[in-house]
Structures are given as C-alpha cells and as structure tokens.
Amino acid sequence: MVDLYNFIAKRTDRMKASEVREILRYAKGDVISFAGGLPDPYCLPSEDEICSAIDYISKFKEKAFQYSLTGGILELKEEIAKYCGEKLGIKASAEEILITTGSQQALDITARILIDQRDYVITELPTYIAAIQAFSLFRPNYLGIPMDDEGMKIDYLESSLRAMNEEGLKPKFLYTIPTCQNPAGLSMSMDRRRWLLELASKYDFIVVEDDPYSQIMFRDIQVKRLKSLDTEGRVVYLSTFSKIYAPGVRVGWIIADKSILNYYELAKQSIDLCTSSVNQYFVLHALQSRIIEKRLPAVINKYKIKCELMHKMLEEKMPEGSKWSNPVGGMFIFGWLDERVNTKKILMDVIQKYNVAYVPGGSFFVDGSGWNTLRLNFTFPTEQQIEVGVGRLAKAIENELKKL
C-alpha cells in the first residue's frame, strides 16, 4: 500500500478534528448531551412555514434551481440590508453584503485571505472553537485576551498592543464575538466596544465581528454592533441564519467594505461557486414573510427559561470551587472547575459512567490554558434533561474530586 501520509501538505499538521463533533459520536442512547450547539427543535420552521416556502420557491424555479452569483442572490442581499438597518442598527447596501454558506465559511475565507504564516491574530480567551480550527490551518501566532463579565479586557489588550508595538509587531486582525459570546454567553460593554475600535485605529488592524447570537439576547442590555460604530471601514461583520431560522439552510452573510469584500468573493468562487440557491430562497421567503421576527420572542423566552434553569441547577448542585458564566444570551454556559480537574481527561469516563456529555473547554483557549473548563449547551436538551443531566455531572465531578 502507498503511504498516503507522505503526500499530505505540511500545513495540515495544525488541523484537528472538532472535539464537539467527536463527542457527539459517543453522546448517544441514554447519554444526556450538553455538548452540541443545536437550536431547540421547536425553534425550527414549522411544517406550514416550510410548505409555504416551497410554494414560494416553486414560483422562482428557474432561478432557485440554477447556479446563482457567487456574491449571492440580489433580492436576498437587499432584504438582508433592510433587516440589518431595521433590526441590527447596521446601515449597509446590497453591494456591501456577501452571502456565505453559513458563517463558518466566512471564518474559513477570513483565514484564507488575511492570514500569512506567523501573522498575529487576537482572540478572546476563550473563543469559538471552530474559528480557531479555521485560522490555525494558516499557522498564525495567537494572542489571547482574557474576559470578564464585560467581555474582552480591553486594558489588557491595550498593554499587549503597546508591548507588541515596541517590538515592531502588529496584529493582522482581532476576532471577537462581542455579543452573547460563544462559549461564555457574555457581552462586551459599550465603553469597551468604543475603546476597542479606538485601538484598532491607533494600532491599525482589522476587527472581525462574529455575531450569530445577538438576536437571542435575554437580558435587557442595549448594545450596538461594532459594525454600526465603525467609521473607518475596519470592521468585517459576520452573521448567520443558523440560530434565528435554521442551521440546515447553511446561509450566512458578511458586511464589509467593498475593497475587502472582493477578496471574500474571489475566495468563495473556488470554494463552492455559490451558496445553495434554493436555500437562499428559503431565507428570502422567511425574511419577506417576517417568520423570523415573529418567532424570535418565543425563541428568546424558551432559551431564557432553559438558561436560567441550567444556571440555577449548576449553582445548587456542582461542588464548591466551580464557577459559571451568567449568560446574557446565546446558547451556552461556560464553567471553571477546581484547577485539579482536567475536563478533557475525565470526559470519556463521565460519558460512559454517568451518561452525560459536555465539551472540555481547553480547545476554546488559544494559549493552551483552560484544562479545568467546560462548555454546556442549554438550548437543545429539554428542561427535564437539564435537571437530570446537571445532577449527573455534579456526581461525576464530586467523585472525580474525591480521587484527587
């Protein structure tokens, strides 16, 4: 047999399987899984809505079942521009919008067009696991910035930038999920948002704002998207219909200055030519018939109840020494356990003996820390599963601590 390993490009040595996807393979049967990032099935489009979308799409058969422009179907981009203006406070024209195959594709293209080997990329500590996966293929150097309840610590960022500047270094871009962050569910305060943009201007780097969750905010907090505060065209804004409509349609969008958007489009040409035209029509129908905005209040309410229940159960049941993020929105709670617990090492045992699964938090940290952390999803499990699952998790960690 040929040793095919010898043919694989060197840059793949930083490619790792997503831990979330690996865990999902084991989290079956009686296992209660807090590992995935799936919406509650109740929040997906109803049968009636799907039928009416199919009806609508059949009227555009010649367009919906054809290849479409790489940048996306114009009517959808116009509809998104309107939605962003009305709901997200972002003014953008259709020419400043590019449709992507989920936001994950936007992250992948960001890496392809921005990262040269050893470029500095700044992220929150912790940050979205699959963004790290996308970026790492291009071998950047990372600088991780810790967070507190007000999001990324911008004073820490400022001193890091100053130190880098003294060494003649500057970052290429800063990646942030400023609102209802994944994995911590926290939001960056307004002061810090303004300060971050000032630093981006002073030290001249791009800000990539990843914003899948800001519409699923359950606290009464006023936030402005970084893109809406951007006066210099430095912010590349990414969002998606995955969490507010359906992840299965795989439709996301980018808003950015045309000069950089052209590169996104060029890269997309060689990846998939265009995002599924049929799926773009599904989303167009959802926007035009206002399905998304009509359903969002119920979705938010459902997630709020589940989040509060999980948080309460964690505070009550988990052993002393554990700390939990208190999300303002999104889909996840992040936890810090006693420093002696390695959440990755014990995971298989926890799944097999206690029938509960989580994502070990270490992979969300670009600096190799976070071995005692974990991420829990509260949107997919039922309320009953949340109660039982947290009980199981507490038992597992308690027993683990006894062994130490």
Binding-site ranges for ligand PLP (CB under 6 A): 37, 102-104, 128, 177, 182, 210, 212, 240, 242, 247, 252
**Minimum distance between the CB of residue 377 and ligand PLP, rounded to whole angstroms?**
10
**Minimum distance between the CB of residue 35 and ligand PLP, rounded to whole angstroms?**
12
> Of 176 and 343, which CB lies nearer to ligand PLP in the complex structure?
176
> Of 144 and 341, which CB lies nearer to ligand PLP in the complex structure?
144
Would you put residue 254 in left (φ > 0), alpha (ψ -120 to 50) or beta? Answer: beta
Cα separation, 2 vs 355, in Å, equals: 41
Using a 10 angstrom Cβ sphere, with 0-12 exposed, 13-18 middle and 19 or more buried, the burial of residue 191 is exposed
> Of 99 and 199, which CB lies nearer to ligand PLP in the complex structure?
99
State which residue has the least CB distance to ligand PLP: 102
Which strand (E) or helix (H) includes residue 386? Answer: helix 383-403
**Minimum distance between the CB of residue 251 and ligand PLP, rounded to whole angstroms?**
8
Asked if residue 102 lies in contact with residue 251, where contact means CB atoms within 8 angstroms, the answer is yes
Using a 10 angstrom Cβ sphere, with 0-12 exposed, 13-18 middle and 19 or more buried, the burial of residue 335 is buried
> Of 242 and 280, which CB lies nearer to ligand PLP in the complex structure?
242
> Of 247 and 319, which CB lies nearer to ligand PLP in the complex structure?
247
**Minimum distance between the CB of residue 135 and ligand PLP, rounded to whole angstroms?**
12
**Minimum distance between the CB of residue 127 and ligand PLP, rounded to whole angstroms?**
8
> Of 83 and 203, which CB lies nearer to ligand PLP in the complex structure?
83
Instruction: Please give the C-alpha separations between residue 5 and each of 12, 13, 271, in angstroms, as whole numbers.
Output: 11, 11, 24
H runs (alpha helix) in 84-231: 102-114, 129-136, 154-166, 190-203, 226-229
Please state the φ and ψ torsions of residue 206, each to the nearest 5 degrees.
Answer: -85, 145
**Minimum distance between the CB of residue 238 and ligand PLP, rounded to whole angstroms?**
7
Closest to 55 (Cα-Cα) out of 293, 289, 294: 289
Structure tokens at 343: 């959440």
> Of 240 and 322, which CB lies nearer to ligand PLP in the complex structure?
240
Alpha-carbon Rg for the chain in angstroms: 21
Return the half-sphere exposure (C-beta side, CA atoms, 13 A cut-off) of residue 111. 20
**Minimum distance between the CB of residue 48 and ligand PLP, rounded to whole angstroms?**
24
